Amino acid sequence: MTATTDGGGAITGGADPRHDSTAAPAAAAAGPSGGGTGLRKGVREAVDRATGELLARQDPQGWWKGDLQTNVTMDAEDLLLRQFLGIRDEAVTRAAALFIRGEQREDGTWATFHGGPPELSATIEAYVALRLAGDPPDAPHMSRASAWIRAHGGLAAARVFTRIWLALFGWWSWDHLPELPPELVFLPPWVPLNIYDFGCWARQTIVPLTVVSALRPVRPAPFALDELHTDARDPSPAKPLPPLASWDGAFQRMDKALHLYRRVAPRRLRKAAMAAAGRWIVERQENDGCWGGIQPPAVYSVIALHLLGYDLGHPVMRAGLESLDRFAVWREDGARMVEACQSPVWDTCLAAIALADAGLPPDHPALVRAADWMLGEEIRRPGDWAVRRPGLAPGGWAFEFHNDNYPDIDDTAEVVLALRRIRHPQPGKVEAAIARGVSWNLGMQSKNGAWGAFDADNTSPFPNRLPFCDFGEVIDPPSADVTAHVVEMLAAEGRASDPRARRGIAWLLAEQEADGPWFGRWGTNYVYGTGSVVPALTAAGIAPSHPAVRRAVAWLESVQNEDGGWGEDQRSYRDRSWAGKGASTASQTAWALMALLSAGERDGDAVARGLAYLVETQRPDGTWDEPYFTGTGFPWDFSINYHLYRQVFPLTALGRYLHGEPFGPERRNVPPAEES
410 as an active site residue: the answer is: yes
- Give this prediction's pTM: 0.91
Contacts of 214 (CB under 8 A, 6+ apart): 181, 182, 262, 270, 273, 274
Q: Cα separation of 146 and 486, whole Å?
A: 47
Closest CA to 248 of 238, 240, 259, 258: 240
- Of 66 and 4, the structure prediction assigns the larger pLDDT to 66
Element of type H or E holding 108: none
Answer yes or no: is pLDDT of 540 > 70: yes
- In 287-363, alpha helices (H): 295-307, 315-325, 344-357
Q: What is the pLDDT of residue 20?
A: 40
Q: Cα separation of 187 and 190, whole Å?
A: 8
Answer yes or no: is pLDDT of 35 > 60: no
Find the angle CA(218)-CA(219)-CA(220) to the nearest 5 degrees. Answer: 120
Q: Cα separation of 251 and 308, whole Å?
A: 29
Query: Collapsing DSSP states into helix, strand and coil, what is residue 638?
Result: strand
Q: What is the pLDDT of residue 242?
A: 73
Find the angle CA(63)-CA(633)-CA(382) to the nearest 5 degrees. Answer: 65
Contacts of 349 (CB under 8 A, 6+ apart): 374, 397, 411, 414, 415, 417, 418
Averaged pLDDT score across all residues of the chain: 91
Same fold? 37-66+343-459+474-659, 69-229+247-338:
yes
Mean pLDDT of 194-221: 95
Contacts of 642 (CB under 8 A, 6+ apart): 66, 68, 69, 343, 347, 587, 630, 631
**Annotated catalytic residue, options 357, 404, 408, 410:** 410
**Assigned CATH for 69-229+247-338:** 1.50.10.20
Question: Where exactly are the structural domains of the chain?
Answer: 37-66+343-459+474-659, 69-229+247-338
Closest CA to 534 of 492, 458, 596: 596
Per CATH, which fold does 37-66+343-459+474-659 belong to?
Glycosyltransferase (1.50.10)
User: DSSP string of 650-674?
Assistant: HHHHHHHHHH--TTSTTTT-SPPPP
Mean pLDDT of 479-494: 98
- Provide the residue type at 234 as one letter: D
Confidence class of residue 12 from pLDDT cuts 50, 70 and 90?
Answer: very low
Confidence class of residue 372 from pLDDT cuts 50, 70 and 90?
Answer: very high
Angle between helices 120-132 and 73-85 (to 10 degrees): 40
pLDDT, tens digit, 9 for 90 and up, residues 228-262: 998 654 555 556 767 766 766 776 777 788 888 88
Confidence class of residue 21 from pLDDT cuts 50, 70 and 90?
Answer: very low
Query: Collapsing DSSP states into helix, strand and coil, what is residue 595?
Result: helix
Confidence class of residue 466 from pLDDT cuts 50, 70 and 90?
Answer: confident
Confidence class of residue 664 from pLDDT cuts 50, 70 and 90?
Answer: confident
